[in-house]
């Protein structure tokens, strides 16, 4: 296994942490929430990433455990091996991807929300190494990134910005994530209708309603701008 790690095929991941029972040091709110969820003296991050309260309070379990390690209040007691070149839906420290202003695409929105972020920082570099260094320094290290807003989610899915949704993020993200991209459906309907498959089967009244429907649908076209 270690040979595969040296060949950069596998990587080591901290899987479980042991914590002490008596905490003399002051804990942050995030640290206390994580510690309170231990099983005996054991904390397994994979068991906490889906915890509703931690997600609602935006507690990053991995970063919090790192801080507990620095304070000497937690110690890694089990490591596991994972493939390096594979998709990790949870990302690194809760971050999957960060999109720059120059990006003209965005991944599929999902009901459970995603770990994809946006940054207002533009990066220009002469080579890949400089690009990476600038990204790590000015975006990642300074945490200059955020999740998409409700307005941006509506734009991505092709809905008008005035479309009414619940106020809380989990509720509106569930609805938007479970929806389909309106412009895609519009395109499919136009293509199907253009084949003439409905020819002679609809009255003039139905065709008029269909035309009005398409005219309304045109209001849903996105402008391609992800930033509000």
Q: Catalogue all structural domains in the chain, each as residue range(s) with its CATH number.
A: 2-83 (1.10.10)
Strands 74-83 and 10-19: antiparallel
State the pLDDT at residue 200: 56
As a whole-number percent, the residues of the chain with pLDDT over 90 amount to 20
Q: Which two tokens stand for residue 170?
A: 């989990």
Q: Which are the contacts of 50, defined by CB distance < 8 A and separation ≥ 6?
A: none
- Select from 148, 61, 54 the least CA-distant residue to 109: 148
Residue 19 near residue 43, CB atoms below 8 Å = yes
- What's the mean pLDDT when you consider all of the chain? 81
Q: In this predicted structure, what is the pLDDT of residue 121?
A: 93
The whole model's pTM is what? Answer: 0.47
| Model pLDDT for residues 124-144, shown as the tens digit of each residue | 889 999 999 999 999 999 999
Secondary structure (3-state) at 43: strand
More confident residue, 37 or 218: 37
Q: Which residues are registered as beta bridge partners of 97?
A: 116
| Residue 194: predicted pLDDT | 83
Q: What is the pLDDT of residue 41?
A: 87
């Amino acid at each position: 296994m270690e040979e595969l790690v040296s060949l950069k095929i596998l990587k080591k991941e901290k899987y479980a942490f042991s914590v002490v029972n008596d905490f003399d040091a002051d804990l942050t709110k995030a640290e206390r929430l994580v510690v309170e969820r231990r099983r005996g003296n054991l904390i397994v991050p994979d068991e906490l990433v889906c915890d509703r309260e931690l997600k609602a309070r935006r507690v990053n379990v991995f970063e919090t455990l790192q801080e507990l390690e620095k304070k000497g209040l937690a110690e890694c007691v089990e490591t596991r091996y994972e493939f390096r070149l594979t998709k990790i839906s949870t990302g690194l420290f809760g971050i999957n991807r960060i999109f720059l202003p120059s990006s003209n695409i965005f991944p599929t929105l999902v009901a459970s929300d995603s770990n994809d972020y946006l940054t207002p920082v533009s990066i220009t570099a002469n080579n890949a190494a400089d690009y990476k260094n600038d990204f790590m320094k000015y975006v990642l290290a300074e945490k200059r990134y955020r999740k998409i807003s409700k307005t941006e989610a509506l734009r991505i899915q092709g809905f008008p910005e005035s479309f009414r949704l619940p106020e809380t993020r989990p509720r509106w993200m569930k609805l938007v994530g479970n929806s389909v991209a309106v412009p895609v459906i519009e395109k499919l309907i136009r293509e199907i209708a253009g084949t003439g498959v409905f020819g002679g089967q609809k009255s003039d009244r139905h065709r008029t309603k269909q035309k009005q429907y398409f005219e309304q649908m045109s209001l849903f076209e996105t402008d391609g701008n992800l930033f509000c």
